[in-house]
Structure 1
């Protein structure tokens, strides 16, 4: 069984998905006219102005953004970067940046589609994601079900057990039994997940900014402590990426290929652009225009890889602990922190893992719930799923998980393969919706989405979404109102 899973992972992640994800990123970058560059500042403005929604029962765009970040920013941002640098050299960081910049456009595309084809829960909230737009836009419910099953396995069960395991491992030095950590984590998680998407979004809105800014604050302290070495670190990253610091010959080609492979692979695992996970959070937002959440999805990739992963890379490379050390993964990051700020570094890593992993657990859980409701919308079944997730959290804290990791990678690979195929087929819709957004920006109004302007979309979307601004063309009075109330919408 293990050999079969490893063979599937080798095929998917060794060649097929790497080229498909790169190709999708390049295609969407071109078709959207480099949206990640030309609309980056607007994305920041939308994100900063999206915390307030016109109704307390709604999930705000900022809450949806934080929920997606909660799943994205996890232990991989500390351990994964360390592995990439260990196996691919400092140049792997450069290729992580490259895949993140390209992935920003892919993330926009999948988030736009998730918003277009979301489902109204009837209580002021929405749900959606790849399974939903695969069924509604492509008419392939069976394929959506396969995607949902793969996501539930990977995010609902496997990755949550891995996150729990990471927390237990981080606290082994404190004399706390792994069983106690698992049970405590399950109790804490239950207080959030049984409250549904509103509860999850509110907790994510509180935790994510705190954990991100605290971690970045520590990284900045270390950078300022070693500010004179900063130019040399960036020079090392760029030279290593292209083998310029090595002797000529076959060794250079191997080192460059390793840097590319590790950087691209770890970058994709970290920011999840194109995987089909983040759109499940994006669909929950109550927004003016689908492109709004698409732009915020771009920022999620940027925050995860360009900001947080770079912070970890800076901590490791500036510390110099790689010289003569065989440590890798989270151990390497921990050694780097301890070498710079003393024994408190070990406690900071443990605290960061606790916040990163806990926020990932609650967000991963919701991704699974949304897809379970796609297959069979039954409250009893959802409650059974919640109990099963909590069981996996307890089990994961005390177990050895290499097989779980391998199975999760295979499930995630199936997700990405299905989702990328879908968004590439639906790329024309993304381009048209983004053009509608751009045209309104050029006209000097806050963009709102009128579904009646898109007859094909109007027929394939649910009848009870995107209705607030869709009774007809937006006239002058409506434009004035939209300017006054920039976050109202469907």
Structure 2
């Protein structure tokens, strides 16, 4: 078993070294420049037309509301990746990994924006009136690359299995260490709860997500701010750790084993990507079902989602773990316990773990619901509707398997399977960047001007 783990670890480290660094950062920079730094210059505009109009209905075709699409997509990213993924990145990459998470998130905003824009442009309406889209559609219809579209769909369909396992493993290890609850019991409970959600399809997932995701996010932020407040005197030192050790190795301290520059970059990039999904193309699957008058209007939600997921939630988790000193007190093998340990300093050894476990449980249920939806759509695209039902049961079974699995092995496996569909997706986006540029220019110079003109006439 050790030899297999070592082989997986070495291969994962290679993939998420220079190859993915060049592809993701290079590709994101290319899109950022080609789109005229749209995600930075139009960030206030993105806030105004996303969270600023959260209760307004958009015109245009679609199956669910723009906010439901956003909440569904955010549900697949917010949760274990923020509460557990960030401590894992710090445990194996050091505090400097957070800097690289920030870098990949800012650049990744342009990538995610592009994915959603292309997803809307090439989406299709099914016989039942439901809109479907995503990388498999824009790769096939936009470029004519049938094999690449199938490779993406197959890679994502397979990756959902360890992706689900990561989610359930994060909550099962936490409940076991905090309350002594056997991991198999947690797995069985999750199977029942998640099955109720996933058997309702995208409409039920969207309805559930729009109600619980905002509540979960705000509750977690409020608790984390409390932890940071009681440790605020450590803030200057923590900022120094993040920026200095983004480029310099850091030695062992307490339970922390130390990390070099390559580890900081590797874990920061990998966890940053897995957290906000920029480059993965998965968000465009959910957003392709949204009512929207223009592809770029929905693309703004992609920019906002990366901001919320990585710049806000991941950063808050990082500060919570670093300010409290939990990153040195908890061994890397038990990285999932870092946030619980940090909250114990605020709420006590009993209520701290209960608070984190309760939030993580709700996060995991909503996240897995969306992940299973993503996986089913890939199976349906490749092999038809009956096979998607088969994969649904495979994913539900992986809930239990993940609950009793090992944390580091699962994270390494996720990183390998991620590459199977990240590579064809990012390459396709780069080849279709001209179309994204044209749609972005149309939005800036035609659509927005027309809206201003129409508003002037109506007033």
Distance 2:8 2:261 in 1: 28
Question: CA contact under 8 A between 2:220 and 2:359: conserved in structure 1?
Answer: yes
Offset at 1:348? 1.5
- Structure 1 residues 219 and 7, CA gap change in structure 2 (3 angstroms): closer
Q: 1:356 aligns with which of 351, 363, 381?
A: 363
- Structure 1 residues 404 and 310, CA gap change in structure 2 (3 angstroms): closer
Q: 1:281 aligns with which of 283, 286, 296?
A: 286
Structure 2 equivalent of residue 334 of structure 1: 340
Task: Write the deviation string for residues 150-183 of structure 1: whole angstroms up to 9, x where unpaired.
Answer: 101111x221123222222222243544333223
Question: CA contact under 8 A between 1:77 and 1:270: conserved in structure 2?
Answer: yes
Does 2:164 correspond to 1:160?
A: yes
Question: CA contact under 8 A between 1:78 and 1:329: conserved in structure 2?
Answer: no
Structure with more of its chain in helix, by fraction: 2
Question: CA contact under 8 A between 1:154 and 1:409: conserved in structure 2?
Answer: no
| Paired residue secondary structure (2:384) | coil
Does 2:422 correspond to 1:419?
A: no
Distance 1:28 1:54 in 2: 27
Offset at 1:382? 2.9
Distance 1:411 1:271 in 2: 16
Offset at 1:80? 2.2
| Paired residue secondary structure (1:241) | coil
Task: Write the deviation string for residues 64-103 of structure 1: whole angstroms up to 9, x where unpaired.
Answer: 1111111111312122222322333322222211111011
Offset at 1:353? 1.8
Structure 1 equivalent of residue 305 of structure 2: 300
Task: Write the deviation string for residues 13-60 of structure 1: whole angstroms up to 9, x where unpaired.
Answer: 222112100001111111111111111112122222244547998311
With 27-36 and 74-83 compared, the bigger mean Cα shift is at: 74-83
Distance 2:384 2:21 in 1: 34
Distance 1:395 1:87 in 2: 24
Distance 2:169 2:248 in 1: 37
Does 2:45 correspond to 1:42?
A: yes
Question: CA contact under 8 A between 2:62 and 2:291: conserved in structure 1?
Answer: no
With 365-374 and 400-409 compared, the bigger mean Cα shift is at: 400-409
How many residues were matched structurally? 444
Does 2:138 correspond to 1:136?
A: no
Offset at 1:256? 4.2
Distance 2:260 2:183 in 1: 39
Offset at 1:107? 0.8
Question: CA contact under 8 A between 1:319 and 1:340: conserved in structure 2?
Answer: no
Offset at 1:341? 2.9
Structure 2 equivalent of residue 392 of structure 1: 398
- Structure 1 residues 140 and 397, CA gap change in structure 2 (3 angstroms): same
Does 2:380 correspond to 1:373?
A: yes
Question: CA contact under 8 A between 2:376 and 2:389: conserved in structure 1?
Answer: no
Question: CA contact under 8 A between 2:330 and 2:337: conserved in structure 1?
Answer: no
Offset at 1:342? 1.5
Q: 1:203 aligns with which of 186, 203, 208?
A: 208
Task: Write the deviation string for residues 281-313 of structure 1: whole angstroms up to 9, x where unpaired.
Answer: 121111111111211111111111110111111
Question: CA contact under 8 A between 1:190 and 1:390: conserved in structure 2?
Answer: yes
Gaps of 5+ in 1: 247-253, 447-475, 485-490
The structure having more radius of gyration, on CA atoms, is: 1
Structure 1 equivalent of residue 320 of structure 2: 315
| Paired residue secondary structure (2:64) | coil
- Structure 1 residues 429 and 398, CA gap change in structure 2 (3 angstroms): same
Distance 1:244 1:162 in 2: 28
Task: Write the deviation string for residues 303-340 of structure 1: whole angstroms up to 9, x where unpaired.
Answer: 11110111111111211234565355212222222123
Question: CA contact under 8 A between 1:81 and 1:329: conserved in structure 2?
Answer: no
Structure 2 equivalent of residue 188 of structure 1: 193
Structure 2 equivalent of residue 78 of structure 1: 83
Offset at 1:420? 0.7
Distance 2:113 2:232 in 1: 35
So what's the TM-score if we normalise by structure 1? 0.83
Question: CA contact under 8 A between 2:221 and 2:316: conserved in structure 1?
Answer: yes
| Paired residue secondary structure (1:171) | helix
Distance 2:78 2:94 in 1: 22
